Amino acid sequence: MFEKRWVADPANIIRGNDPQSVIAKTEAALLRARNIDAADVNAFFAPSTLPPVPEDPSLESAAELILDAVSDGVKITIFGDYDCDGICAAAILYHFLVNYLEADADYLIPDRFGEGYGITPEAVDRICEQGTGMIITVDNGITAFEAAARAKELGITMIITDHHLSTGALPEAAVVVDPHLEESFFPFRDECGAGVAFTLIRRIAEEIGIEREELTGYLMCTAVATVGDSVPLTGNNRVYVRLGLDAMRRLKLNRRSSAFRQGGQARYGENGMSGTEESGPAFSNGIKALLEASGIYADTSLTSTDIAFKVVPKINAAGRLGSAEKAIALLLAETPFDAEEAAAQLIRDNNVRKNIEQEIYNDALTGEKMLTGDNDRIVVCVGEDWHQGVLGIVASRLAEKFNRPAIVLTLSEDGDDPVYKGSGRSVESIDIHSALSECSEYLERFGGHVRAAGISIRRSKLRPFIDAVNAYLKTLDEAKSVFAPEYVADAVIPGAMVGLDFADMINAFEPFGEGNRAPLIALTGLTLSGCSRFGGDNAHLRLVFSGAAPGGATVRLEGVMFRAGNLFETVSHLRRVSVLCTPRRDSLHPDQLTLHITDLHDFDLDIEKTLTYMYNNPYITFESFAIDAAFLRVVYKGITKLPESFSFNDLIALKVKLCAAGYNCSWYRLRCCVDIFTELGLLKRLSKTGFSLDIAVTKVELESSAKYRALRIEAES
């Protein structure tokens, strides 16, 4: 919060006193941003049918080989992965083979720590010893050259189904199904691993005459995996998630509280018994139990955001802490009792995961663990004994905080030149897989996709690797500069115009995720009237705002801001504010509006005034985000009157004085000035919150500051 500027298309600054007109104009802006023309609007808002199964030769061959193997009584082993996508993909294929084809099948999910990602020759040997004649990989295998060679040597038929990028050559498997292959006939290429598995069972279902309606449960599982793997929610993926959510809403979720949510025993039915099998689509018991255990009861308001933040982390928690077996057992649970027991265990695992993640995140921010600084275009943190299972989440949080790719590593192999292993996450404008490919000479191993990757690297190569990534990222378009972190507001509107009808319009754009992010609406004209903390360790903020509606009435709005509890003292003293948020119906109380707040600033954008600052035309930013030489001089003069060593508290006092003197001194502008002065050597950072003025430096060139260059705004002509 307070660290990113907001930009918007001038056409999306919406004025007016009629809520319905504001809704219509905002909807039009959101459709324009997604390049959806009038002819495609209905299909976008209400996809009602699954797309046709692609006529792909590899898909046909895989289906034929599987049917032949089942007919011949060949044992089939499904080899998955320990994340949500790999778990769901394995569950989909296993459940279908056993329940519809009556196949002799089992599954194997590798241990994250003992075996690592992907199928290996050793895993093939173990599977062979169990009498398996066919191996089907899901969500992995596209680079399993040695494992495929070993399977061929042992006479095992291997079918690879994956969605990751190949390195060019392909393993010597019987069939490789991957939408990303150049020779693929998949018209949509961004399905996740579970999406590919779902497409495969759909092809087999067509062959043996299974009706599409019978695959509803598999669609629910595919939807969870699609959201969880952060693939673009466009094309087929949007249809899978939309229809999958519809199916979940029909599960008749129980609103009543159940004992296992407090860590006790699972609930019992009216007759004191539980455990009877419940009819419904495949995976009904497991998904229903997990939704309820996650506090999701209002089925009509179930969204992809609920899945992403409340469901997926619990499925991932099992694999992150060790064995993913508990998660796949939940999905395959045959009774409500078994499902509730499994869900309760995942809840406990996820709570442990959150504690470990927070500890590592805090540790990663310390000086000795952070190998990169303000001038690096990547964040790299290294620990000696960090838990490997949560490094990707920590990297994601660091990427969000610093608005640049982040890599978090821990010791994997000791020795004279130790090997560190970890995960990387990127920001929207940077392809981390491409960056790693350009610098691969420094890596022992790497893999992944646009936004996420895994790497192994030796200690001696860390600094050369960082320097190489810096050099590569500096070649990118200046508009993507990591020195100018920002949010793009999809619309800027008066806060008093937001109500339940506006939230329903936003909800129609669901499901949200990669490629179709939740709209960010900048609300103006608001006053903060209440602030409180909630959640475990008071980690989150609940905020109350008021705004003046047409006619003089006062509108009251409530919002939540996650992971902002530490800012309570600062936020609670604010008055006039602007809020960047996604207005939603409350998940527990659908008749109430809740603002899901992404960012907040201590000023009013005042959109009725003429905007005089431009950013990368046609986008504009607002005066309170602009930095110029005149304002820098004012702030520097104020800093020279502070003690030689000062803290953020002194800066807050300076901000108050400058505002009282008539300067537009938002906390954002003041922080940017301090960063620029530090970059120019005028200030020295003594600690996370402490600074000192270097009086020996008397003259600097503003243009030598990269941050100043990135933040400088051109006046509109």
Question: For 144-159, what is the mean pLDDT?
Answer: 95
What's the whole-number mean pLDDT along residues 527-555?
A: 89
Q: Among 289-298, 410-419, 540-549, where is mean pLDDT lowest?
A: 289-298
Query: What is the average pLDDT value for the chain, to the nearest integer?
Result: 87
Check residue 514 and give its pLDDT: 81
Q: Tell me the pLDDT band of 261, cut-offs 50, 70 and 90.
A: very low
Q: What is the dihedral of CA 569, 572, 578, 581, to 10 degrees?
A: 80
d(CA 118, CA 116): 7
pLDDT tens readout for residues 455-483: 899 999 999 999 999 999 887 754 344 45
Nearest Cα neighbor of 142 from 167, 117, 124, 121 is 167
The pLDDT confidence band at residue 15, using thresholds 50, 70 and 90, is confident
The percent of residues in the chain predicted with pLDDT above 70, rounded, is: 92
Q: How high is the pLDDT of residue 164? A: 87
pLDDT in tens, 70-125: 999 999 999 999 889 999 999 999 999 999 999 999 999 988 766 667 899 999 99
User: Taking the domains of the chain in order of start, what are their residue ranges?
Assistant: 5-44+486-614, 49-219, 251-356, 378-475, 626-715
pLDDT digits (tens, 9 = 90+) for 673-717: 998 999 898 998 888 778 998 878 778 888 888 778 777 765 543
3 state SS of 562? coil
Question: What is the reported pLDDT for 98?
Answer: 96
Average pLDDT (587-603) is 88
378-396 burial, b if ≥16 CB within 10 A, otherwise e? bbbbbbeebbbbbbbbbbb
Q: Which two tokens stand for residue 623?
A: 């005066």
3-class SS of residue 106: strand
Distance CA 364, CA 381 (A): 6
| Confidence band, pLDDT 50/70/90 cuts, at residue 563 | confident
Query: Is there a shared CATH topology between the 49-219 domain and the 626-715 domain?
Result: no
CATH number listed for the domain at residues 5-44+486-614: 2.40.50.460
The top-level CATH class assigned to 626-715 is mainly alpha
Q: What angle do CA 216, 222, 224 make, to 5 degrees?
A: 110
Q: Which CATH number fits domain 49-219: 3.90.1640.30, 3.40.50.10860, 2.60.120.20, 3.30.310.50?
A: 3.90.1640.30
Q: Which residues contact 383 (CB under 8 A, 6 or more apart)?
A: 360, 363, 364, 369, 408, 409, 410, 411
Say whether the peptide bond before residue 643 is cis (omega within 30 degrees of 0).
no
What pLDDT does 291 receive?
92
Contacts of 472 (CB under 8 A, 6+ apart): 435, 438, 439
CATH of 378-475, one of 3.10.310.30, 2.40.50.140, 3.40.50.720, 3.40.50.300: 3.10.310.30
> Lowest mean pLDDT: which of 224-233, 457-466, 582-591?
582-591
Does the structure show a pLDDT above 90 at 407? yes
Look at residue 456 in the predicted model and tell me its pLDDT: 92
